Amino acid sequence: MAETESYPPIDPTNFDLIVVGTGLPESIIAAAASTAGKSVLHLDPNPHYGSHYSSLTLHDLTSFLNSQSPNPRINPHQSTTEASDHATAALDLITRPLYSDVEISSYDDSVSEHSRKFNLDLAGPRVLFCADLAVDLLLKSTANQYVEFKNIDSSYVCDGNGNLMNVPDSKSAVFKDKTLKYSEKNQLNSFFKLVQGHLEAVKSVGTGVDEGKVISEEDLERPFVMFLDKMKLPPKIKSIILYAIAMVDYDQDAGESCKDVLRTRDGIDRLALYHASVGRFPNALGALIYPIYGQGELPQAFCRRAAVKGCLYVLRMPVISVLLNKDSGNYKGVKLVSGQEITSDKLVMDPSFTITSSPSEALQDVSKVFDAGKVSGKLARGICITKSSLKPELPDTSSCLVIYPPRSLYPDQATSIRVLQLGSSLAVCPSGMFVFYISAVCDDALEGKKSLHAAMDSLFSVHTSGTTDSSLTDQIESTEVKPALLWSALYVQDLIEGFMGPVVMTPTPDGNLNYNDLLRATSKLFQQLYPDDELFPEIQNTDSSDKLEDDSEVDIES
């Protein structure tokens, strides 16, 4: 219910763990800790679940972005809080802005009229690979029963001439592909075969390995791009493998100046993930899936899982300070906006919080956590709404992924730009509309926005005069009618990594297409929090109260 006349008192007032923020990492930690039998209080200052991982209505997204970006705003809790007793010190918490350069444009009023019919992801574009860690965790935690998924219908990669090529990601796709030459098909197939052989050989180590098939240790340590060159793969195929299957961010042909070189070993791992994802589920045709109602369903599913295991949920409850023991400097509890103090052994917080001033020396241990949560990079994100699909000629394609590899849109495009189109069958927008998520890793807002605009100019037409950069649009000679842009939100998000300390800080959404890196970081945090507990141990079938599927017919015929 929306109304909050006053902040309710929370009972009990002591927990094993307090978690602040309901983003995906926090929700997984809350669910795993509850499953391990800990008493957990899960708070969120927002009126919705998901924090920076939410899916929101159009209006809520707009106001969330604005409220979490730097603008001259008076902090309602600026006065220094005092703990109720003298042995306790209070560190005041403030919201740190994670978003900047927020630009929201509306070209058609019909979009905001349907605000409530949108479920817009804050951290898009994002998908799950059928064999990735998110799927594994959903299954292990049994949170899978709360979420339904659909396939992403197809993937495309831009070839540098503005043409979108289908990504042939499996043998049958290679066979059916109409854009590849016969020789190219052979090259791609033999490369897939080589990788397959390598993976099988690695799996069967010590059981009479066919050594000939294993990629040499030397090659595994070298850059993946050099290995692809060694295999004599043409640029087009290389680009598909690097950017549309291994989903690399930085230009791998940039040599020494490339910021993040993918080694062959990791490249092969990413191909293996993609390979294992195709056909993992009998009813999922491709490698990629997306949750109906948006990515924000995932934190909700883990929160529900946590609640079922006894975790207490309180939304709309800001924490105003972290309480410490004055003598030891140890973490003690939190003070809520209601004035109530709640104690716990451990505290996990989402990275949108920081403390106001540097406290006394005794308290440095805890304040160190907030120092550690420094911005490690930036990410430009865009959300665009249209009334037509990128592929109107393919009526079956309502969702698709488009990759613009580095340098494919403009000469100094340093990183991949990824675009995800979703249709109303995923319940993320009104029927007849489409939502596009765009993202690119960047050094600064200027570069990031340039990437977003380049992709948008290539994808959409805008019915306003004189705003498009003509030097960019000239490159693209497409006769297709582009979808008209109705609404867009562009913003730059800070990247902050998780940190383990007396207070645990969870990571912000990263720039990847899947959750793998985030979930690795999250399970590491959980392991450090509770070294003796497993993150969702395998469930025995005896737990029948969990899901009663006995289907006993209760026949009360009328």
User: Which residues between 43 and 82 bind other proteins (CB under 8 A)?
Assistant: 48-49
- Number of CB atoms found within 10 A of residue 13's CB: 13
Cα–chain-centroid distance for residue 163?
Answer: 27
Under rule CB under 8 A, residue 193 binds other proteins: yes
The DSSP string of 414-467 is -B-EEEEEEEGGGTSS-TT-EEEEEEEEESSHHHHHHHHHHHHHHH-B-SSSS-
Q: Which of residues 6-45 bind other proteins (CB under 8 A)?
A: 8, 10
x/- site string to other proteins, residues 415 to 434, per CB under 8 A? ----------x-x-------
Contact segment (CB under 8 A) with other proteins among 212-220, 295-303, 367-375, 385-393 equals: 295-303
Contact segment (CB under 8 A) with other proteins among 153-161, 170-178, 408-416, 526-534 equals: 170-178
Q: Which of residues 95-154 bind other proteins (CB under 8 A)?
A: 135, 138-139, 142, 144-150
Q: Which of residues 529-558 bind other proteins (CB under 8 A)?
A: 545-549, 551-558
Contact segment (CB under 8 A) with other proteins among 1-9, 94-102, 249-257, 385-393 equals: 1-9
Q: Which helix (H) or strand (E) holds 174?
A: helix 171-176
Exactly one of 94, 202, 308, 472 binds other proteins (CB under 8 A); which one? 308
**Nearer of residues 363 and 427 to other proteins, judged by Cβ:** 427
- In the complex, least distance from residue 170 CB atom to other proteins, rounded to whole angstroms: 4
Give SS3 for 102.
strand
Helices (H), ranges, 36-154? 58-67, 109-113, 133-141
Cα–chain-centroid distance for residue 100?
Answer: 18
Most distant CA atoms of the chain, gap in Å: 79
Under rule CB under 8 A, residue 199 binds other proteins: yes
Q: Which residue, chain included where needed, has tokens 């029963």?
A: 145
- Number of CB atoms found within 10 A of residue 219's CB: 18
Contact segment (CB under 8 A) with other proteins among 191-199, 232-240, 348-356, 461-469 equals: 191-199
Under rule CB under 8 A, residue 169 binds other proteins: yes
Strand-pair partners of 491: 381
**Nearer of residues 121 and 297 to other proteins, judged by Cβ:** 297
Cα gap 177→51, rounded to integer Å = 41
Q: Which of residues 274-293 bind other proteins (CB under 8 A)?
A: 274-275, 278-284, 289, 291-293
With contacts defined by CB under 8 A, how many residues of the chain interact with other proteins?
73
Contact segment (CB under 8 A) with other proteins among 68-76, 309-317, 383-391, 509-517 equals: 309-317
In contact, 420 and 127? CB cutoff 8 Å: yes
x/- site string to other proteins, residues 310 to 339, per CB under 8 A? x-xxxxxx----------------------
- In the complex, least distance from residue 248 CB atom to other proteins, rounded to whole angstroms: 18
3-state secondary structure 345-370: EEEEECCCEEECCCCCHHHHHHHHHH
Backbone angles phi, psi at 456, to 5 degrees: -65, -40
**Nearer of residues 90 and 135 to other proteins, judged by Cβ:** 135
**Nearer of residues 273 and 348 to other proteins, judged by Cβ:** 273
- In the complex, least distance from residue 503 CB atom to other proteins, rounded to whole angstroms: 23
Under rule CB under 8 A, residue 455 binds other proteins: no
Cα gap 34→217, rounded to integer Å = 43
- In the complex, least distance from residue 311 CB atom to other proteins, rounded to whole angstroms: 8
In contact, 450 and 95? CB cutoff 8 Å: no
